[in-house]
Amino acid sequence: MSFESPSPSTPTTPVSSTTASPSVSVFERFSKGQEEHLAQLQMFLDRLPICSPKIVDAVTNILPFLTYGEQQSVEALINFFASYLDWESYDRDPDQDKTFYLNSFVNVLKSTPNDAAGHLLKSQVMDHGITAGASTYLANKFTDNNTGSYQLSSVPYVLEVLTGLCSSHNATINYILSNNPDFLVMLHHMEEVRLFFTF
């Protein structure tokens, strides 16, 4: 009588307790990437006030791209400028320091791309109350067609900020109009008055 040798069982590969799962590894790399992006953005923001005017223009043009559409970086960018967006304060004291930051913020918005990262930035600006503050400022200053408000220092910056925020961002437009349905009528009137005084 012959006996067949038993089939060799499939060896089991031991799982090393020190081997990280792919998901953890990917998460760690992602987190490290976010930290590096934030550090890079913060470096540019910290050096912005000491740069030459040409460098400032170049840096503010790339700042929206340096957020990489990441929440932390977007928050850091907004917080860097937020304290200078007090329009009433600027009307009372339009000093050179505030003017620098307002010009820089306007350049950032003009350079913000029409993509997911740009939309996130504009949405976060709205969530921080900056959109509401700018639109409410204009609505309050130009009630009853008050032409004297054109002389206020903040008005040109508020208009440029709102123009940048509304560009290709329906959420901002809808938000402004839902809170002030006559906002567009007011803007058209402001433009007519501006052209009148230009001539």
Domain assignment present for residue 10? The answer is: no
pLDDT higher than threshold 60 for residue 197:
no
Angle at 14 between CA 13 and CA 20, to 5 degrees: 110
Taking CA atoms, 7 is separated from 4, 10, 11, in Å, by 9, 9, 12
- pLDDT tens digits for range 150-189: 889 999 999 999 999 999 999 999 999 999 998 888 887 7
Taking CA atoms, 29 is separated from 41, 65, 74, in Å, by 18, 20, 20
- pLDDT tens digits for range 90-136: 999 999 999 999 999 999 999 999 999 999 999 999 999 999 999 99
Length of the chain: 199
Domain assignment present for residue 150? The answer is: yes
Domain assignment present for residue 3? The answer is: no
Domain assignment present for residue 8? The answer is: no
Whole-number Å distance between alpha carbons of 108 and 139: 24
* Interacting residues of 44 by C-beta distance below 8 A, sequence separation 6+: 59, 62, 63, 66
Domain assignment present for residue 17? The answer is: no
Domain assignment present for residue 13? The answer is: no
Please tell me the total count of domains within the chain: 1
Domain assignment present for residue 4? The answer is: no
Domain assignment present for residue 119? The answer is: yes
